Every structure is written in structure tokens, then in C-alpha cells.
Amino acid sequence: MSRSFEEFGDYVSVAERRAKAERAVAKLRRKDPAIAPVIIDGQAIAATFWGKAWCKNLESYRDFESRLPRGRSYVRNRAVLDLKISPLRVDALVCGSEIYEIEIKIDQAPRAQWRSICADCAGGIDSLVELLRGRLSERVMERLCRQGKGLFPKPSEIDFTCDCPDYAYMCKHVAAVFYGIGARLDESPELLFRLRGVDANDLLVNVDAATPLSKSAPAAGKVLASDDLSALFGLEMAPDEAPAAVSSASKSKGAGTKSK
């Protein structure tokens, strides 16, 4: 089994790791004021719907599960010195025994899949503000989070590289960045749509050919269980209302492969 050189070093306390990361950020910021470190306070990596949903989806894939725990430790210790999300990619710097560069590429959401999501959600999303806050009906949030068919990428749609010496399928630095994305979505959930190369405004357009979700239920096991959705993500679920019940007043409020 291959191992990173870092795993053979002496024990380093959490305080020492954070101090090292803070010094590295300060040094990087002198060269690039736009450096954007991931700061985690406490044990919870994400606190909002979209951040939690990203992490939960990530942890559901067996391709990733064996390498994720070290990533959680790294991101909590503020080792992700910089993380920038742009269309279809994430660039990051992570502090290990050295500072490593990570690049994650995400496929654009397939056009037909995105159109299907928009059609299924037609009439169920009245405001982008409420969408980004995760305050929508269960049927809409289930559709957006549907594993393999929703907004989150599958492992086959993700490719990543890190210039560290760890030749494992996913090194801990990449895993830390994946969790860092979840933390970043807490602050700016609109970045998820940017990352997948889609326009969130499409969800507000009523599609003539749309089939209400109540008449087109997904197959069992393909969506998050609705009974568990609120408890799992801490959602503020709205009652599931028919499109006709949305008032005009409420409308006015809305505004993987490791390569070397």
C-alpha cells in the first residue's frame, strides 16, 4: 500500500497544524490578496442545506469512502489555504508537509438531465433566494438531490490531480478540497450551479412539457427518503403546494482519477 511521506512524520497537534496553515496563508496573501482559505469553526464542516447536501452526496460514493476521513481532518485544521470555484473546475492549495496544488474538473451537467430537472421542478420554485436558502418543498429538494440524476456530480463526472507524492486513488489533500467545496457552498450556494455549468434561473421558467413530480414519482431508492430529508440536512421545509397556490405576493419577494 502506498503512503504519503507525511504519514511517517512526528505527531503534530491541531494547534500546531492550524498555526502552520495560518502562517502559510499570510505568506501567500502577500503575493495574492485574493487568497480564499477554507475556515472551519467547530466540528461541522457544513451548516446549510447545500453544504450538507454536497458532503452527504460525496460520502455516498464507495469510490471515495476510504480516503475521505483524512480529508475531513485536514479541512477542519484549516489546511485548505485557497479554494476557488469556477465553471467546471476547482483550484486549491492545501498545506501538508509542503503546499500542494489541487485541480478538480467537473463535467458540465448533461443538457438533457438539466432540462429534465427544470421540467420536473417547473412551478415549484418561486424565488432564487428561497432556492439558495434550501427553503423549498420536499418534492423539489428531492429532485435536485436525486443521486446520479440531480445536480450533484457522479464520480465518473469528476477528475482530479494533486502534485503530492501520494499515489493513492484519492489523496487526503484532494479529499480535503472536496469537503472544502461543501464549506464554500455554505457561504455561496450559487457556486454549485456555476460549477456544473448551468443557470439557476432556468429553474424559474415554466416548461410547457413539464410533468409534475406528483405524477412522475422516482423509483424507490433513487432519491433521499423524504421523511429523513429534514433531519439529515436541517432543512426548513415548506409545505408541498401545487403551483396554483403560489400567491403573486410571494412572487414579488423572490428576486476521478488521480494522475501524476
pLDDT over 70, % of the chain:
74
DSSP per residue over 64-109, as a string? TTTTHHHHHHHHHTT-EEEEEEETTEEEEEEESSSEEEEEEEEPPP
Reported as a single tens digit per residue, the pLDDT across 40-64 is: 988 899 999 999 999 999 999 888 8
Reported as a single tens digit per residue, the pLDDT across 144-195 is: 999 999 999 999 999 999 999 988 889 999 999 999 999 999 999 999 999 9
The yes-or-no verdict on residue 66 having pLDDT over 90 is no
- Please, what is the average pLDDT of the chain? 79
Torsions phi, psi for 28 (to 5 deg) = -65, -35
- Cβ-based burial of 31 (10 A; exposed 0-12, middle 13-18, buried ≥19): exposed
Could you tell me whether strands 89-95 and 80-86 are parallel, antiparallel, or unpaired per DSSP bridges?
A: antiparallel
- Cβ-based burial of 26 (10 A; exposed 0-12, middle 13-18, buried ≥19): exposed
The yes-or-no verdict on residue 104 having pLDDT over 80 is yes
Distances (CA, A) of 84 to 103, 125, 178, 195, 230: 10, 28, 12, 10, 29
The three cell numbers of residue 239 are 409545505
The yes-or-no verdict on residue 256 having pLDDT over 90 is no
Residue 206: pLDDT band (50, 70, 90) is: low
Please name which of 128, 127, 118 lies closest in space to residue 250, comparing C-alpha atoms.
127
Provide the residue type at 5 as one letter: F
- Tell me the domain boundaries of the chain: 5-240
Residue 14, pLDDT score: 76
Residue 231, pLDDT score: 44
Residue 10: pLDDT band (50, 70, 90) is: low
Reported as a single tens digit per residue, the pLDDT across 121-131 is: 988 898 889 89
CA dist., res. 6 & res. 113, Å (int): 41
The CB density around residue 79, as the number of other CB atoms within 10 Å, is 27
